[in-house]
Amino acid sequence: MLALGKDQSNDFNAQVFAATASFMRYNLLNCLNEKENHVTLGELLAHLADDYAVITYSQRLRDFFSRSFPYQL
pLDDT digits (tens, 9 = 90+) for 62-72: 888 888 887 76
Q: Are 26 and 2 in contact (CB under 8 A)?
A: yes
The model's pLDDT over 2-11, given as tens digits with 9 standing for 90+, comes to 565 666 667 8
Rounded distance between C-alpha atoms, residue 36 and residue 40, angstroms = 11
The predicted model scores a pTM of 0.42
